Amino acid sequence: TTPATAAAAAPNPQVGKAMPTIIPPTQAASAGPHDIQLGALVSMAKANEAWQILLARVPDLLAGRTPVVVPGTVNGQTFYRLRLGGFASAAAAAAFCDRLKTRHVACYVPPK
CATH number for the domain that contains residue 79: 3.30.70.1070
Domain that holds residue 41: 34-102
Q: Please report, rounded to a whole number, the percentage of residues in the chain having pLDDT higher than 90.
A: 71
Residue 26 within any structural domain of the chain: no
Instruction: Report the pLDDT averaged over residues 18-43.
Output: 72
- Strand arrangement of the beta sheet that strand 77-87 belongs to: 34-41, 77-87, 67-74
Residue 88 has a pLDDT of 95
**Nearest Cα to 10, choosing from 45, 64, 46?**
46
Residue 3 has a pLDDT of 52
Residue 78 within any structural domain of the chain: yes
Cβ neighbors of 41 (< 8 A, separation 6 or more) are 4, 7, 47, 49, 50, 79, 80, 82
Residue 108 within any structural domain of the chain: no
Q: Please report, rounded to a whole number, the percentage of residues in the chain having pLDDT higher than 70.
A: 72
Residue 75 within any structural domain of the chain: yes
Q: What is the pLDDT of residues 50-63, one digit of tens each?
A: 999 999 999 999 99
| Cβ pair 82, 67 in contact under 8 A | yes
Per-residue pLDDT band at 29 (split at 50, 70, 90) = very low
H or E segment to which residue 64 belongs: none
Residue 29 within any structural domain of the chain: no
Residue 14 within any structural domain of the chain: no
Instruction: Report the pLDDT averaged over residues 22-26.
Output: 52
Residue 68 within any structural domain of the chain: yes
Residue 13 has a pLDDT of 43
Residue 54 within any structural domain of the chain: yes
pTM of model > 0.85: no
Per-residue pLDDT band at 2 (split at 50, 70, 90) = low
**Nearest Cα to 62, choosing from 7, 16, 1?**
7
Total number of domains in the chain: 1
